[in-house]
């Protein structure tokens, strides 16, 4: 998703609708962008928090399982495979296939719960890191990718995207 410009118009529209829905559920675009900026500023990466929680002034993100540094490092590497091939899983003959498959199996059941601090801002939303298409195809959830990895400028492009009229 981070290479938004290379996507076709229908995919751009789907990502726009997904992110806009999540932003509205979190209190609007500005609050959502503040969340992204807070995630980017946090070192080490917020996903490595031992308490499975990321708090900032506008809300919290909770998840159900501790994620270790080696999984985050591999996930960042795998994201490039997905942008090149449309699937983070390498070929089954590849040396790294088993490690990547274990990463997907480890992260897939984790649920991320994103809640605004003030319940009047929105109901929040939940997400999973991966969307399993079939046995051999997996995709990184675009909202998960936007929340934890894509640049804030790219997410702004997605949120402000307007379909071309013909």
Residues 91-105 pLDDT 10s? 778 888 889 888 888
Residue 49 lies in a domain: yes
Residue 113 has pLDDT above 90, yes or no: yes
Residue 20 lies in a domain: yes
Residue 48 lies in a domain: yes
Residue 73 lies in a domain: yes
Q: Name the domain count of the chain.
A: 1
Residue 84 lies in a domain: yes
What average pLDDT does the structure give for the chain? 85
Q: Could you tell me the pTM of the whole model?
A: 0.86
Residue 38 lies in a domain: yes
> Containing domain of residue 39, as a range?
7-155
9-25 vs 152-159: helix crossing angle, rounded to 10? 100
């Amino acid at each position: 998703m981070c290479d938004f410009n290379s996507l076709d118009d229908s995919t751009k529209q789907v990502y726009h609708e997904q992110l806009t829905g999540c932003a509205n559920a979190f209190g609007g675009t500005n609050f959502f962008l503040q969340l992204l900026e807070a995630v980017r500023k946090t070192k080490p990466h917020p996903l490595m928090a031992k308490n499975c929680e990321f708090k900032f002034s506008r809300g919290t993100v909770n998840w159900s399982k501790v994620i270790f540094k080696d999984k985050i490092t591999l996930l960042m590497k795998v994201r490039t495979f997905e942008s090149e091939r449309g699937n983070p899983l390498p070929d089954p003959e590849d040396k790294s296939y088993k490690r990547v498959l274990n990463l997907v199996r480890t992260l897939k059941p984790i649920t991320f719960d994103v809640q605004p601090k003030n319940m009047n801002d929105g109901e929040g939303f939940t997400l999973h890191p991966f969307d399993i298409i079939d046995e051999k195809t997996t995709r990184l959830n675009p909202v998960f990718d936007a929340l934890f990895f894509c640049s804030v400028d790219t997410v702004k492009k997605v949120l402000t995207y307007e379909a071309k009229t013909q």
